[in-house]
Structure 1
Amino acid sequence: MKPTLGGTCLRGLVAVPLLTAAACGGNVEEAVDVVLARHVHTDLYDAYPGIPSPDGDRVVFADYAADSRSLTIYDVATGTGRVMTTTPAGRSRVTWSPDGSRVVYVNRWPDGHGVWTLDPTTGRESRVVDPGDARVDYPRLLPDGTVTAIRYAGVDTAWVSYAPGSRAMSVVVDGAGGWVAPVQSPDGRAVAYLRAEGGRAALAVTEIATGKTHTLATDLRLGWDRRVEWSSTGESLHLAAAGTHDSLFVAWRVPLDGRPAERLARSGRDVLAVTPLADGRVAFSVYHTRTAVGLVPVTGGEPTDVTTAGSTSAFLPSWHPAGQALGFITFSWRRVRMPIDFDLGVLDLDAEGAPTGTVRTLVSEEGEDYGAAWSPDGRWLAFHSHVEQSDDIWLVPVGGSDRPTRLTHFGPGADTGEPDWSPDGRTLAFSSHGPPLDGNPGSVYTVAVDPVTGFAVADPVRVPLDGFQGYAMGARFSPDGERLAFYGRSFEDGRVTVYTVPAGGGTPTAVISFVNGEPYSAPEWGADGASLFYSRNDGAGPFQVWRVDIPTGATEQVTTGVLGALQPSLSPDGRARPNGFTSDWGG
């Protein structure tokens, strides 16, 4: 898309990351590029691939929202999709029954854990395996109704089978520790699986009767959706994996007779869920993922992409205090490289608000660098980083060559968010789990900063959130610096609520609550401090940016378009909003 930002647009815009086409997944395609289904995911990271039915006439997708996964099934003939599940559950390891009459999955939640099936026509769900006190994973439904799965019971791990309509369990292969995604051969005589070996995996086949094992491939890197599929003849295996020198996940066919493995696609994109169909075709999910930063008037509309940079993505926008530039994360979506190596980029803007030049790099350290926040005087850039094995807030002079200064010392695993400056430039607010030993599920912190030296004046302070029960995400100072806004996710039902709280702590005030995927970032204050911009998708479909009036609770949708938008950031003059939006965010 060409930037179409006009001379007067920026001053009346908000910046948001634009979500184009899908939230991390892509098209389920066969090798000759026949698209079976296209799906927009609700979460950037937790975007599982589409799984086609054996006949290729339907495709099921799992979406993450409010700590739950819902299932959407597309009819290939009509191209229409329908959300089939209505109750929250931890649905995972989704597959189909051999005849395509049911979707099969494991519910990870303790309440209701076991193997379940879903009727793709009626949406009726049934638990077919209740493992009792044990835990099961990687279920498969056989033609006779038997269910196979990995069963974990204490220190014992086995590949087992459950008879149809019964809790009777039989051990098929004992000592299956390290096994991933086992699947029985069409003739029932062998089991193929991935065997975890440190950070890599091997592809192996074990003869069930004799226990003899053949290793077919080693040193594989795997994606989140780990699965192996047999060809209908049992002569080869199909999987998605990255070899030693691969920068992307690749579709593979691996013959059992010792011939070399064959790459099925070189699409230039990550490929997952390689699935042989009954008619001999092979389907797979291709991730079309790009996020961009766009501008939209605060009065509403469809965001315009201003960070057109080929395959490079951008999101989590922020403004220079004088409105002369936009900062954001730059990166390339590579599922094989998660966690992603984020850098901080900047795009200069002219006096009329139009982009000038190209995206340039502000900060490029090891691991994740994100959340560029200019100090109000424009001298400092605060950001989150994993540099030096940290998970903390750092500060660096703008335009200088000095190394960043670490302001917090929480360390790895703190899940610290992006910072936000107080209007006087003396305090940064952010969310974090804090020190790993604190047992903090996520709270709001502030750290005082000397605006002259850039050093932390004191240790970070956890902002008291009296009576709050949940996981706090993001933090933003109000225009007068008196209050903070943040997202809170409920431990009980996973709903997201927009809260405000005095900057020094107190009882949070709930502004609005809704079912949501991961909003990424924090609510953004309106220029008058009487409204907040926030991201929501009501648990399904693309995100959009909304505005809520704090005194009345009245809401209005700000962004439009099929691609979606989130992470609003208001321009310094209060008239423009950059937003993150997704471009090719598919599953």
Structure 2
Amino acid sequence: MNSSKWIAISLVICAALLLAALPGYGQLPTDPVERAKVVAQFFEANARWLTLFDREGKEVTVVGQRDVYNQPVLSPDRTRVAVIKVDLDKEVSNLFVFDVATGKATQITFNQTREQTSGPAWSPDGSQVAYVGLRRGFFGLYRKASNGEGPEELLYQGGGQMLITDWSMDGRFLSYFSGSLTGGTLFALPLNAVGERKPVEILASKSQVQGARFSPDSRFVAYASNESGKMEVYVRPFDPAAATPGVKPTVGPWQISDQGGQGMAFWRRDGKEMYYLAADRGIMAVSVTTSPDFEFGKPKLLFRPSEDALTGVAPGTSSISRDGERVVIAIPPPQLRQITILDRQGKVVSTVGQPGFYLQPGISPDGKRLVVMRNDPKTSNQDIWTLDIATGKGYAVTNDTPPENAPIWSPDGTQVAYVSFREPYSGVYRKAWDGTGNEEQLFRYTPGAFMVLTDWSPDGKFLTFWTGVLSLVALRPDEKALDRKAIEWLREDYDVIDGRFSPDGRYLAFLSNEATINKTDVYVRPFDSSKPETPAGPAVQVSKNGATGMISWRQDGKEMYFLTRDWEVMAVDVTTTPAFQAGTPRLLFKLQGPLPGNPAQWNNVSRDGERFVFAMPVRAAAAAR
């Protein structure tokens, strides 16, 4: 998911980088060689450049060296950048302050293994930095001198995940938010309170809300919310003395963005201009006044980042200085991808269409079409598309605001199923492969829970998805979508993901770390459609030295495929009658990884085992040639 609508991701982005750094790894390997491989691949896939731009989008300078950065924030005098840096090898994220002129870094926090720091915010005079720290399993709001000297001070200890977004210019308040897929809350923490500090609720909503920042006079807050059905930027009054939970202010809120706003709402220090990140990743400016009343003008575009980096630009990777003259962006690796088809030797057979912001291509049963997740750079919407392999023609299966993901083909290739989040539920829907007709809901999952759809049984009677537990949905025609219940087919003390039905429907292949917690392998268990509540027999291990996904069966049931964490595409001879047996895996070819996406979701092997499709990174300049 690369959608800003999923605001809960912002709360735990550093944790996600640490604990799910590369798909299929579980915990980091303890073997030094294997661990080094994982860390190196993680770095290549996620490292960014801290880059400063002026108001016209001209690059001013690059700060420091390339690293795994997140949440950069310019100091009030814009001579320094506070930023979170992830160290996967040590399994921590820490706060650093970089000098813009020299690139010299000062480490502010020194976390222990699996501790985190996130959400830096500068004090008005730049002498301190506030941040969220995860210490010994508890989230807290802290502050420390920005030169790294002295101890950190715990300001407030919360009960759950939090993210700081601002320190008011009068020095009196920190703003932070907490949330989940079912809603969120904005808070202000008084810093000058006598005794125990008690947060002031700014806004509690069933919608997603994030990124509250105070106006220079502290009379208003700007924030992002999807209360209209898509993310927009709003302003509302802030009066901590009169704040009553659940009571709306007598004026406001005002919607500032006019065509979508992801967030990154900042105020110029004179209170006469605001900035935000638009849905198309444009850096926008809006003229405002806060006295005697709040008024605002029409948003205008300052600049859009380069196409190479476009979909990697988000509120958590960008910010703007207090004077509105500098924008800092943690520039990611190239985000454009060319859909590329390889043969069994790893040679390029063809490319499909033009490069785009694609993920997770899957081949139709007849081998003529692909289904992909596509991020629209103009709207930030993540939709499901299909592509004709021969012509490259694309068809929008979905074209809406809710983020869709995990697309799979129906057994006959006439439909596509996918997961869509419609607050507060994740559900499975299906629609004709060319986008015609209405979508049909097949299943609705637990409120606020995620799910990853991976396969549709050959007889069309079952779907399989995972959440760490491998589950099934029986598609009985006489049962309504909302009445269907998830069947926990395999729940154990270990992780089980990426279920794939055999061509005859008698087995399920999956990834599990049951043998070694530090890695996943491919296993196969019998599946009895008449008794889908539990596996019909013991597991047989297929891979020998770890796997990350891309599990596929050849149509005749005599060969399987999977991907190792060294980006090796493997094949293994198998038999399914009278019982399942697997031979010794052999290498077909090796990819130049890491590639974007999650291999545990890939359905990218043709039914005859002759073609393999990938979304290959490509730069915009190369794509234009």
TM-score of the aligned structures, taking structure 1 as reference length: 0.62
Q: CA distance change for structure 1 residues 134 and 427 in 2, over 3 Å: closer, same or farther?
A: closer
Aligned to 1:218: 254
Q: Which of the numbers 589, 595, 605 marks the counterpart of 1:570?
A: 605
Q: Shift of residue 332 of structure 1?
A: 0.8
Which amino acid letter does the alignment assign opposite residue 139 of structure 2? H
Could you tell me whether the CA contact under 8 Å between 1:52 and 1:275 is conserved in 2?
A: yes
Give the structure 1 partner of residue 525 of structure 2. Answer: 502
The 8 Å contact of residues 234 and 254 in structure 2, kept in 1 or not, is answered as yes
User: CA offsets per residue over residues 479-510 of structure 1, 9 Å max, x none?
Assistant: 675543445699xxx97745535142447678
The correspondence of residues 243-392 of structure 1 with structure 2, limited to 5 A, is 250-252=283-285, 254-256=287-289, 260=297, 263=300, 265-267=302-304, 272=315, 273-276=318-321, 281-285=325-329, 289-296=335-342, 306-309=351-354, 312-333=356-377, 337=380, 340-348=381-389, 356-361=390-395, 363-364=397-398, 367=402, 371-374=406-409, 378=412, 380-384=414-418, 386=420, 391-392=426-427
Contact 1:375 1:425 in 2 (8 A): no
Superposed, which structure 2 residues align to 1:112-123 within 5 Å? Answer: 112-116=138-142
Q: Distance in 1 between matches of 2:589 and 2:146?
A: 33
Equivalent residue number for residue 181 of structure 2: none
Which one scores higher on RCO, CA 8 angstroms, separation ≥ 6?
1
State the Cα deviation string for residues 301-326 of structure 1 (Å, max 9, x = none): 8x89934536x432221123343333
Residues 188-236 of structure 1: per-residue CA shift (max 9 Å, x gap): x64652268855664357688999x9989811468666553443xx444
Answering whether residue 574 of structure 2 is matched by residue 533 of structure 1, we say: no
2-side partners of 1:116 and 1:417: how far apart? 36
Would you say how many aligned residue pairs link Structure 1 and Structure 2? 507
Take 1:118 and 1:563, find their aligned partners in 2: how far apart are those partners? 38
The residue that corresponds to 2:221 in the other structure is 193
One of 261, 266, 269 as aligned partner of 1:228: 266
The Cα of 1:283 is off from its aligned counterpart by 1.0
State the TM-score, normalizing by the size of structure 2: 0.59
What's the counterpart of residue 524 of structure 1?
551
Write the letter of the residue equivalent to 1:578.
V
Q: 2:465 aligns with which of 418, 422, 431?
A: 431
The offset of 1:581, in angstroms, is: 4.2
Q: Which residue of 2 aligns with 1:15?
A: none
Question: Any idea what SS the aligned residue of 1:467 has?
Answer: coil
Contact 2:553–2:607, Cα closer than 8 Å, also in 1: no
Change in Cα spacing, 1:347 to 1:313, as seen in structure 2 (3 Å) is farther
Q: Verify the 8 A CA contact 1:150 1:157 in the aligned structure 2.
A: yes
**Residue equivalent to 1:5:** none
Give the direction of change, closer, same or farther, for the CA distance of 1:525–1:563 in structure 2 (3 Å limit): closer
Summarize the Cα distance change of 1:194–1:531 in structure 2 as closer, same or farther, 3 Å threshold. same
1:342 Cα offset (Å)? 1.3
Where 2:392 maps in the other structure, the secondary structure is strand
More helix by share: 2
Assess, with a 3 A threshold, how the Cα gap between structure 1 residues 130 and 372 changes in structure 2: closer, same or farther: closer
Distance in 2 (CA, whole Å) between partners of 1:277 and 1:514 is: 52
How well do the aligned residues superpose, as a CA RMSD in angstroms?
A: 6.1
Counterpart pick for 1:240 among 264, 276, 281 = 276
Looking at structure 2, the residues matched to 445 and 386 of structure 1 have their Cα atoms a distance apart, in angstroms, of 17
Give me the identity figure in percent: 15
Q: Report deviation, 1:532.
A: 2.3
- Secondary structure of residue in 1 paired with 2:255: strand
Contact 1:157–1:176 (Cα < 8 Å) also in 2: yes
Q: CA deviation at 1:250?
A: 3.9
Per the alignment, residue 203 of structure 1 pairs with: 235
Structure 1 CA distance, aligned partners of 2:88 and 2:410?
Answer: 34
8 Å Cα contact 1:182-1:228 kept in structure 2: no
Aligned partner of 1:88 in structure 2 is 114
Structure 1 residue 267: Cα displacement = 1.9
Is the Cα contact below 8 Å between 1:93 and 1:225 reproduced in 2? no
**Counterpart contact for 1:58–1:76, Cα < 8 Å:** yes
Shift of 1:579: 1.9
Partners of 1:238 and 1:274 within 8 A in 2: no
Is the alpha carbon distance of 1:446 and 1:407 closer, same or farther for their aligned partners in structure 2, counting shifts above 3 Å? same
Could you tell me which runs of 5 or more consecutive residues in structure 1 were left unpaired when the two chains were aligned: 1-18, 349-355, 434-440, 537-543
Matched, 1:443 2:470: yes
CA contact (8 A) 2:222 2:235 kept: yes
